[in-house]
Amino acid sequence: MNWNDHINYLELHPPEPFSFEECMAFLNRSDKEILHRCEGDHLFKLIKIDGQTILMKIMYINKVIRVEFPMGETSKFIREKTVEYIWEWFDLQRDLVPFYQLSESDKVLKPLVENFYGLRIIGIPDFFEALAWAILGQQILLSFAYTLKERLVKTYGESVEWGGETYWLFPDASEIGNLNVDELKKLQLTTRKAEYLIGVAQAVSTGALTKDQLGSLTEDMQIKSALMALRGVGAWTADYVMMKALGRPSAFPVGDAGLQNALKQQLGLGRKPTLNEMNELAKNWSGWEGYATFYLWRSLYEPIV
């Protein structure tokens, strides 16, 4: 992690290729998102470090990511953790060169990489949030998934006011693990989603399942099996979490409906590609299936012209 400490801000030096604009375009994809806020070129996000809520104001100036602390946090420890958080959030430890090399000879990826050059997988560093978001998003429209997330966060999450805006934290697993199904159904989660979410929350809050423990496993399949042992976590959810929270660029949520639609569009098919066709295409993406998926998702809300 390459960064400098200044009195009133931090400077992070991301490795090339990196495009803050492309990452912001992804972050700004829904106006119903309440866990961060895009205001022009500035990005605001509240995080919790060592029991303290920290508001970050992030901008990009002369190839440098500048992070300010509007609420005035200064401890050395918090600054280090903030850098770690952003590094993980924007996947800055990744060397994208191999991905871009294999994309050159790939008819699907080549135009995507040219259009969204410098985009990195925007992760969800909070492991429980990633699991919960995946469960909320199962088999419903993304817009409704955002509605459910908003209700969950505003009902059970912590918040801070600053500059006339409210900033939210995703609820702790321990908070959600102590709820019962009926309480979540009031937010219009289905019975299933409520059961899944509570079960997963309990697994996380008791430490039966931890990010560190899963991250220490070397094989993707080991992680995937451990995740799928949870009720409500199938192959798609496991791959999604590996992609967004565990930094596995090879995770491939192959059954994903959005992925199918994106491929249909990119390939000019009159129908959705079959599972076999997608696996055939993905043979050329070996090790980077998650990145290919992320770029394809990106193409959905801003088609290549």
Partner DNA sequence: ATCCAGGAACTGT
Partner DNA sequence: ACAGTTCATGGA
Cis peptide before 17 (omega within 30 of 0): yes
Q: Quote the tokens at residue 40.
A: 């022009």
Catalytic site includes residue 172: no
Question: Can you tell me which residue has the tokens 């050059």?
Answer: 117
Question: Among 66-74, 216-224, 253-261, 280-288, which window interacts with DNA (CB under 7 A)?
Answer: 253-261
Q: Is 64 helix (H, G, I), strand (E, B) or coil?
A: strand
Q: Is 82 exposed, middle or buried (0-12, 13-18, 19+ CB in 10 A)?
A: buried
Residue 284 to residue 57: CA distance in whole angstroms: 39
- CA pair distance 113, 9, nearest whole angstrom: 32
143 binds DNA (CB under 7 A): yes
Tell me how many helices (H) and strands (E) the chain has: 15, 8
Of 38, 64, 142, 217, the residue at the interface with DNA (CB under 7 A) is 142
Three-state DSSP class for residue 270: coil
Q: Which is nearer to DNA, 11 or 195 (CB)?
A: 195
CA distance linking residue 181 with residue 197, whole number of Å: 9
Q: Which of residues 122-141 bind DNA (CB under 7 A)?
A: 134, 137-141
Give the binding range for DNA (CB under 7 A) out of 47-55, 85-93, 96-104, 226-234.
226-234
The nearer residue to DNA, 233 or 278, going by C-beta atoms, is 233
> CA-CA distance, 13 to 87, in Å (whole number)?
10
Residue placing its CB nearer to DNA in the complex, 144 or 162: 144
Residue among 107 and 231 whose Cβ is closer to DNA: 231
Q: Which stretch binds DNA (CB under 7 A): 34-42, 56-64, 207-215, 249-257?
A: 249-257
CA distance 216 to 246: 10
Specify the stretch interacting with DNA by CB under 7 A; choose among 112-120, 163-171, 185-193, 218-226.
185-193
Local structure of 77: helix, strand or coil? helix
17, 111, 215, 234: residue in contact with DNA (rule CB under 7 A): 234
Q: Binding to DNA by residue 247, rule CB under 7 A?
A: no
Asked if 53 is part of the footprint of DNA (rule: CB under 7 A), the reply reads: no
Site for DNA in 186-215 (CB under 7 A): 188, 190-192
x-marked contacts with DNA along 16-45 as a string, rule CB under 7 A: -------------x----------------
- Which residues does 233 contact at the CB level (< 8 Å), separation at least 6? 131, 134, 135, 196, 200, 227, 241
Q: Map the footprint of DNA across residues 62-121, applying CB under 7 A.
A: none
Please list the active-site residues.
Answer: 256
Q: What is the contact surface with DNA in residues (CB under 7 A)?
A: 29, 134, 137-144, 147, 188, 190-192, 228, 230-238, 240, 244, 255-258, 261, 297
